[in-house]
Amino acid sequence: MAIEDYAVDEPFFREWKARRPGARRSLERAARIAEALDPRTGTVPIVTVVGSKGKGTATLYASATLAAAGLKVGTLSSPPLLTNRERIRIDGRAIDLPTYERLATTLDAVLRRNGPDDRGYLSPTGLYTLVGVGHMLRERCDVLVVEAGMGGGSDEVSLLTPTVVAVTRIFAEHVGVIGPDVTAIAHDKLAVVRATTRSVLSIRQDHPEVLDVFRAWHGPAPLDVLDDTAGTDVAVDWPPALSGPNARLGWAAACRLLDAIGMPHASTERLRSVLSTVALPGRLSRHVNDQGRHWTVDAAIDPRGVTAAVEWHQANVGSIDTLLLCLPTVKDAAGVREALGARPFVPVKMASEHLAFDDARWAAPEIDLTDVDGALRGERVLALGTWSFVGAVLARLGVRHERAFTA
């Protein structure tokens, strides 16, 4: 749930909150809602971004690259950071509250006419996808960049027809929800590719099962894996650590889309100017609070991400006086513990309707986020965890995210 809750959020979460144990979301019903909302998804080129981690960064850099080329860009991202309005952006700016209220009212009316049935529930991320795409098309966006909520073929983004598909790193995230193992998850991510898709791009993958799926790929478009240096010859100050490859993936996907529709690329000067405005709070972003304490905040949730964040902090900020770590029960706690070794950290939990926490995984009991101030030591804090945790931390620090980039 977003940090800034509005009463009009309710239609998006209605069926998810009322779902019965074991219920699954229904793409069949989502398609029917899509028809009722009239999103007309086949009318504009689309970049669809899938993967386990890094999708948000790739989505924003793809959007900014397309905007730099002079196109009106609709961006749909998931999950939000501070407010659900951030899920739907046009040319980098989140929709305002009156617009969000109108969209929610329209959705409410459609849901009342098409009530729940035995085929499954309508997921919040799926409804934001359908409503957001419809809104962006009515606003006459030239192109769309759509981030998958969870999965690929199992996600409502599979109702769209992408021109380009961008794949971030895939690992054992949501095992048992998307699929029984990483192989099934990788197949599900790639299931968004359609017969009309012109290009499929991925960053370098490191999981053996994902590599096997990639080697066996025989889709309608070739699957191109970018090397780690892709885009480094462009005069752009790319974001640090693991965000860099994802940013360059977004840029490359946007370039493929421009080529597919016969649009010229932005000049190097124009591209650099727009990409320099991309805001990535929660991706190794640095902030100073009212007490003068220095915070580095990153949405690292797996051993590789946590290790990268710690190493980057040590190299660029200095010692870590307090390490806060917020990982729900479903995350790889054992792997993160091994990656941290003897490094001390403070395990943090959050009150949440959809995330469970189990302090038996840690040597020390988890403390609630609302009590975290008493656990802080020193001037330099590194806060790592899920997007909901990152959003809560940034809200406490007074960070805003109304504009993701400026074209």
Q: pLDDT at position 40, please? A: 59
pLDDT tens per residue, range 1-13: 456 667 899 999 9
Is 401 within the bounds of a domain? Answer: no
Q: 353 falls in which pLDDT band (50, 70, 90)?
A: low
Confidence of residue 356 (pLDDT cuts 50, 70, 90): confident
The C-alpha atoms of residue 109 and residue 102 are separated, in whole angstroms, by 11
Pair of tokens at residue 118: 């035995």
- The residue among 275, 299, 326 that closes a domain is 275
Query: Are residue 38 and residue 105 in the same domain, yes or no?
Result: yes
Q: Is 60 exceeded by the pLDDT of residue 376?
A: yes
Average pLDDT over residues 108-115: 93
pLDDT tens, residue by residue, 238-288: 999 889 999 999 999 999 999 999 999 999 999 999 999 999 999 999 999
What average pLDDT score do residues 314-319 get? 96
Rounded Cα distance between 247 and 56, Å, is: 9
| Residue 106 lies inside a defined structural domain of this protein | yes
Domain that holds residue 367: 283-396
Query: What single-letter DSSP state applies at residue 300?
Result: -
Do 232 and 298 sit in the same domain of this protein?
no
Task: Tell me the one-letter amino acid at 92.
Answer: G
Q: Same domain, yes or no, for 206 and 104? A: yes
Cβ distance 153 to 188 under 8 Å?
Answer: yes
119 and 253 housed in the same domain: yes
Question: DSSP H helical segments within 216-368, as ranges?
Answer: 243-261, 268-275, 303-316, 333-340
The pLDDT confidence band at residue 117, using thresholds 50, 70 and 90, is confident
Give whole-number Cα distances, 126 to 72, 85, 133, in Å: 23, 15, 11
Question: 284 in the Ramachandran plot: left (φ > 0), alpha (ψ -120 to 50) or beta?
Answer: left
pLDDT band at 118 (very low <50, low <70, confident <90, very high): confident
pLDDT score, position 357:
87
Residue 313, domain member (yes or no): yes
Mean pLDDT, residues 90-112 taken together: 96
CATH of the domain at 336: 3.90.190.20
The residue whose two tokens read 């359609």 is 194
Q: How far is CA 388 from the centre of its chain?
A: 12
402, part of any domain: no
Whether the per-residue pLDDT at 137 is higher than 70: the answer is yes
In the DSSP assignment, the letter for residue 330 is T
Count of the separate structural domains present in the chain: 2
pLDDT interval class at 131 (50, 70, 90): very high
Q: By three-state DSSP, how is residue 385 classified?
A: strand
Residue 26: how many other CB atoms lie within 10 Å: 21
Residues 97 and 20 in one domain: yes
Asked if residue 11 is part of any domain, the answer here is: yes
Considering the domain architecture, whether residues 104 and 214 belong to the same structural domain is answered as: yes
Q: CA-CA-CA-CA torsion for 183, 187, 190, 191, nearest 10 degrees?
A: -160
Q: Please, what is the average pLDDT of the chain?
A: 92
pTM: 0.92
Q: Is the pLDDT of residue 348 over 70?
A: yes
Q: Identify the pLDDT of residue 96.
A: 96
Q: Is 101 exposed, middle or buried (0-12, 13-18, 19+ CB in 10 A)?
A: middle
CB 364 within 8 A of CB 346: yes
Residue 232's pLDDT is 83
Q: Rg of the chain over CA atoms, in angstroms?
A: 20
For 200-237, the pLDDT digits (tens) are: 999 999 999 999 999 999 999 999 999 988 888 888 89
Tokens representing residue 247 in the block: 């940013």
Per-residue pLDDT at 174 exceeds 60: no
CATH code: domain of residue 99: 3.40.1190.10
| Helix residue ranges per DSSP H, 145-242 | 182-190, 208-215
